Amino acid sequence: MSSGPLKFELEGRTIRFATLDDFAFSLSGRTQLAATSVTNLMQLTPNELRREATDIRDVERRFVDLLADALKTPGAVGELLGEIDADLIAEDNQWRAIMAALVDESPGFDEYKHLALVKYMQYLAARRDIVKSIYAQRFGGQEPLAAQEPAVNGGAKSTLIIEEESGPDTESSQLRFRRLPRGETVMVRTPANGELSILLSRHKFQLFAADSPRLTDDNGVNYPLKFGANVIGRHPGNDVVVGGWYRDVSRKHLMVDTTGSGSLSLTDLSTHGTFLPGGLLGNGDE
C-alpha cells in the first residue's frame, strides 16, 4: 500500500499524482523516444550506432537484474534503485530526474518505484528498436551486432517457429500467440489440464502447472520449477537454465511464480519477447 498521493519536484515544478494509475498514465507517454532524440540518433555513424547498441544492451542487463531481484525480494525495490548509478539513466523524457526523485521517497511508495522501473525498461526497449531500425534503413544490416543477445556456449538450433501474428487466421484465438508486456506481471489462469504452450522468443516450450510444476523444451527435457519465483533463461545463475543453443532466449528471459492456486504469474524480462496463446491474455493487443 502506498503512503498516499505522490508529490515531488521536477525541473522546478511540483508534480502530484493522486493514484498509481495517474502515475502509470504519465509514464506511459515517456516510454517512447522524444523526437529530438530520434533525430540525434539518425545523425550517428555506423560505429556510433553500434556503440549505442552496446550501451543499451549493457544498461538493459543491469535493469533486468534489478527487476528480477525486486520481484524475488518484495520490499527491496527502493534499495535496489538507489544502487543504480544515475549516469546509467537517460535524461530523455526526464527519466533521470524522475528516478532521482523516487529514490528519495519512503518505502510506502515502492509500488511507484516498481512501476517506474518497468516503464523505464520499456523505454530502453523502444530506444533499442529505434537504433536497430535506423541501422537497418541507413546501412542495410538487420541490426547492430551488439544489440543481439550473445550466445552462451555457442551453437545454434533450428527450432524457430512463425511469429504470433504471421500465421494463418484460425477460428480459435487460442492458437494465436500474443506478446507479454515487458516487465509487467501477468496472472494467467492455467487450463484444466494444467499445461500451456509458451514461446521464449520463437522457441516453443510447455509449462506444466499441476502436480510437479516444470518447463519442458522441444526435445522433451524437463526443467523443474520450485514453489515461488523462478527466473528462466540462459544465465547459469538462474533458477532454470535453458541450453545455450537457444541463442535468442535472453540471459534472464522470464520470471514464473508458481505460488498461485490454478494460476501462474509471468513477467517477461527478455529482449525478444515471451508469447502466450491469445485466449489466455484476453482480447488485448500484443
Are 98 and 208 contained in the same domain?
no
Are 12 and 115 contained in the same domain?
yes
State the total domains in the chain: 2
Q: What is the mean pLDDT of residues 199-220?
A: 91
Nearest residue to 126 (alpha-carbon basis) of 27, 17, 246: 27
Are 17 and 135 contained in the same domain?
yes
From 130, 147, 164, the end of a domain falls on 147
Are 214 and 272 contained in the same domain?
yes
87: helix, coil or strand?
Answer: helix
CATH of the domain at 266: 2.60.200
Domain assignment present for residue 159? The answer is no
Q: What is the pLDDT of residues 5-59, one digit of tens each?
A: 899 888 888 999 999 999 999 999 999 998 999 999 999 999 999 999 999 999 9
Domain assignment present for residue 247? The answer is yes
Task: Return d(Cα 31, Cα 123) in angstroms, integer.
Answer: 4
Are 107 and 192 contained in the same domain?
no
Domain assignment present for residue 153? The answer is no
Domain assignment present for residue 229? The answer is yes
Q: How confident is the model at residue 146 (pLDDT cuts 50, 70, 90)?
A: low
Are 108 and 237 contained in the same domain?
no
Domain assignment present for residue 162? The answer is no
Are 25 and 121 contained in the same domain?
yes
Nearest residue to 232 (alpha-carbon basis) of 251, 208, 205: 251
Strand 274-277's sheet: what is its strand order? 177-179, 274-277, 195-200, 203-208, 214-216, 222-224
Domain assignment present for residue 37? The answer is yes
Are 29 and 132 contained in the same domain?
yes
CA-to-CA separations, 107 to 6, 18, 63, 99, 250, in angstroms, rounded = 12, 17, 19, 14, 31
Of residues 175 and 242, which shows the higher confidence score? Answer: 242
- pLDDT at site 84: 93
23: helix, coil or strand?
Answer: helix
Buried b (16+ CB within 10 A) or exposed e, 187-219: ebebbeeeebbbbbbbbbbebbbeeebbbebee
Range(s) of the domain holding residue 67: 6-147
Least confident window among 48-57, 119-128, 189-198, 235-244: 189-198
Q: Are 111 and 17 in contact (CB under 8 A)?
A: no
Are 126 and 178 contained in the same domain?
no
Are 202 and 136 contained in the same domain?
no
- pLDDT at site 263: 87
Are 11 and 143 contained in the same domain?
yes
Mean of per-residue pLDDT scores for the chain: 85
Domain assignment present for residue 165? The answer is no
Cell output for 78: 527502493
Are 141 and 258 contained in the same domain?
no
Cell output for 279: 485466449
Contacts of 246 (CB under 8 A, 6+ apart): 157, 159, 200, 201, 203, 217, 234
Q: What is the mean pLDDT of residues 99-121?
A: 94
Is pLDDT above 60 for 161?
Answer: no
Nearest residue to 200 (alpha-carbon basis) of 134, 123, 253, 129: 253
- Please state whether the predicted TM-score (pTM) of the whole model is above 0.75: yes
pLDDT winner (highest mean) among 82-91, 139-148, 153-162: 82-91
Q: What is the mean pLDDT of residues 83-88?
A: 93
Cell output for 267: 513477467
Domain assignment present for residue 156? The answer is no
